[in-house]
Structure 1
Amino acid sequence: MLTRLRELRDLNGKLVLITGASSGLGKLVAYEVAARGANVVLCARNLKALRKVADKCKEISQTDAYVVELDVSDPDAIDRQLTHVLQDIGSVDILVNSAGFGIFESFQKFDMDKAENMFRVNVLGLMYVTQKIAQQMIDSGRGQIFNIASVAGKIATPKSTIYSATKFAVIGFSNALRLELRPLGIQVTTVNPGPMDTNFFKRSETSSKYFESVKFLALSPEKVTHQITNAMGYPRREINAPAYMEAIHRGYELFPKLGDRLASSSLFNRK
């Protein structure tokens, strides 16, 4: 049922919509798909930063780059803005759900208003965007959706309770959605990176301190970007980076007691 998926291997002239495109992984994906000839729709709250990304995409591709001011925590804004995209710009071939954030604190001290907001952005916002675009992809008979989750959605560690919960939810949602959409010609690919050297951890002082403690493990965001763009047009189920984290996850499932001890050790409890 995914015979038309291979049409997306050539990104020239394809329309790629990216949330969280003003910075980090979303921005880098925008640059790389633009370099491969794609037209990009860049979505985020920071309009000034988005315009800079769009200008660079245009310079790279010599083709169109569209800017959409979008708060993915607002369902009404998602419906309104994406309706405009589909009506005024065209059908989306590839969706990259990159919007998200993390706060790393002990649960007993966690501000639950922040927890609710994290779920609205990381989980519900992703779902609203995906539903809107997937409906159009079904009509087109092809498409690919990349949901940026995290290794934290497979291996939970101390002080990542809320963040891990959101990413476990994204992975579970993606796994079920993959089964629903595959017969309709749409591929769902989950991306599970470990810590990356981006501005993701600059949102709060606590997150910044956490990143400094795990910086030696940090992935190159450019490498993850290549893995994502190289998977476009292919029936790739998951991208796990670094690859050894998937082996650790498998071991965790087989030996959960040992996994708990390792996950709570000083190596993983640096937040």
Structure 2
Amino acid sequence: MSDSLRNKVVVITGASSGIGHSIALESAGRGATVILIARNKAKLEKVASEAHELSGADSYTIVTDMSQSDQIDAAFTKIIRLTKHVDYLVNCAGFGKFENFVESNRREVTAMFQVNVLGLMYFSRLAGRLMMEQKSGQIINIGSIAGKVPTVKSAAYSASKAAVIQFSNVLRLELKPFGVKVMTVNPGPVYTNFFNIADKSGHYADSVQKFMLDPDDVAWQVVHFFGSNKRELNLPVSLAILAKLYNLFPTIGDKVSLKFASRK
């Protein structure tokens, strides 16, 4: 533990579980004031209590559905009242579902894009404006290796994460002149409750055990790069290499994906 984030404000969406939960505690462990955003009030309050014990600093909760723009507006208004400034925004909220796209439910796909993409974009827009005025700050968007390397039964989810990655690339260019940084984090599979929704059969989670990341390890790396000029963090290294190779040799990459990476 350290005081490297003392007097810094870290806003985290999707903070009630998974990577968001771990980033909240890692930030608090370094002294940050955290503002936690998710839909589940009870879970948020538990994370806030844990964070306060670690930091001794304020820990706030704002119950928000990231698919609803009016709730995002209300949440940001509360943030301004609470702290007046934001040093880091970490957009972790998101979900996926593994199924053949032709069998997918239109409403579920729409909901996925509302949360994974549009909610993230809208929140980043509000935070970006504030950070431009501050002439400082950093937005960290959680993408996915799935947004770089295609696998079967993930068309909608992969498309949403590819959108996050490209949105972040453009936002980085637009905010750079104002001293505001943007980083994308693209993890492979992570031990979280994500798979409770995305992979109810459990087959995919079992098949990618050797690539599974611990959310606490992901959080440590993300927070380690707070304030840095790093544009993209791809995890684990083996899948980061695979993503680069796919771009260089896409035809071979498709064959490899069908044989080894599409075990859903």
Does structure 1 conserve the Cα–Cα contact (< 8 Å) formed by 2:137 and 2:179? yes
**CA distance in 1: counterparts of 2:118 and 2:31, whole angstroms:** 31
Pairwise mapping of residues 202-217 of structure 1 onto structure 2 (< 5 A)? 202-204=196-198, 206=200, 208-217=202-211
Does structure 1 conserve the Cα–Cα contact (< 8 Å) formed by 2:9 and 2:34? yes
Aligned to 2:190: 196
Does structure 1 conserve the Cα–Cα contact (< 8 Å) formed by 2:16 and 2:40? yes
**CA distance in 2: counterparts of 1:256 and 1:22, whole angstroms:** 37
2:208 aligned counterpart, secondary structure: helix
TM-score (norm. length: structure 1): 0.94
**CA distance in 1: counterparts of 2:114 and 2:253, whole angstroms:** 30
Q: Summarize deviations over 1:41-62 as a string: whole Å, max 9, x none.
A: 0000000000000000011111
The alignment status of 1:260 with 2:259, answered yes or no, reads: no
Deviation at 1:11, TM superposition (A): 1.0
Q: Summarize deviations over 1:153-179 as a string: whole Å, max 9, x none.
A: 000111110000000000000001101
Q: Determine which of 175, 180, 187 is the counterpart of 1:181.
A: 175
The alignment status of 1:34 with 2:25, answered yes or no, reads: no
Q: Summarize deviations over 1:171-196 as a string: whole Å, max 9, x none.
A: 00000110111111011000000001
Deviation at 1:203, TM superposition (A): 2.1
Relative to structure 1, the CA distance from residue 208 to residue 78 in structure 2 (aligned partners, 3 Å threshold; closer, same or farther) is: farther
Does structure 2 conserve the Cα–Cα contact (< 8 Å) formed by 1:104 and 1:207? no
Aligned to 1:246: 240
RMSD: 1.3
Aligned to 1:6: none
**CA distance in 1: counterparts of 2:162 and 2:95, whole angstroms:** 14
The alignment status of 1:167 with 2:190, answered yes or no, reads: no
Q: Summarize deviations over 1:192-235 as a string: whole Å, max 9, x none.
A: 00001111111255364422332232112221111101000111
Relative to structure 1, the CA distance from residue 259 to residue 141 in structure 2 (aligned partners, 3 Å threshold; closer, same or farther) is: same
TM-score (norm. length: structure 2): 0.96
**CA distance in 2: counterparts of 1:42 and 1:13, whole angstroms:** 16
Does structure 2 conserve the Cα–Cα contact (< 8 Å) formed by 1:142 and 1:185? yes
Q: Determine which of 83, 87, 102 is the counterpart of 2:81.
A: 87
**CA distance in 2: counterparts of 1:207 and 1:94, whole angstroms:** 36
**CA distance in 1: counterparts of 2:31 and 2:133, whole angstroms:** 24
Gaps of 5+ in 1: 1-8
Deviation at 1:253, TM superposition (A): 1.4
Does structure 1 conserve the Cα–Cα contact (< 8 Å) formed by 2:95 and 2:116? yes
Q: Summarize deviations over 1:103-155 as a string: whole Å, max 9, x none.
A: 00011111111000000000000001101111111111100010000000000
Deviation at 1:244, TM superposition (A): 2.5
The one-letter amino acid paired with 2:254 is D
Is 251-260 or 168-177 further displaced after alignment? Answer: 251-260
The number of residues matched between the two structures is 262
1:11 aligned counterpart, secondary structure: coil
**CA distance in 1: counterparts of 2:52 and 2:201, whole angstroms:** 33
Seq. identity, %: 46
The alignment status of 1:145 with 2:135, answered yes or no, reads: no
**CA distance in 2: counterparts of 1:39 and 1:112, whole angstroms:** 39
2:228 aligned counterpart, secondary structure: coil
**CA distance in 2: counterparts of 1:205 and 1:162, whole angstroms:** 14
Is 107-116 or 216-225 further displaced after alignment? Answer: 216-225
Does structure 2 conserve the Cα–Cα contact (< 8 Å) formed by 1:103 and 1:207? no
Q: Determine which of 15, 29, 32 is the counterpart of 2:9.
A: 15
Does structure 2 conserve the Cα–Cα contact (< 8 Å) formed by 1:102 and 1:207? no
Aligned to 2:126: 132
Gaps of 5+ in 2: none
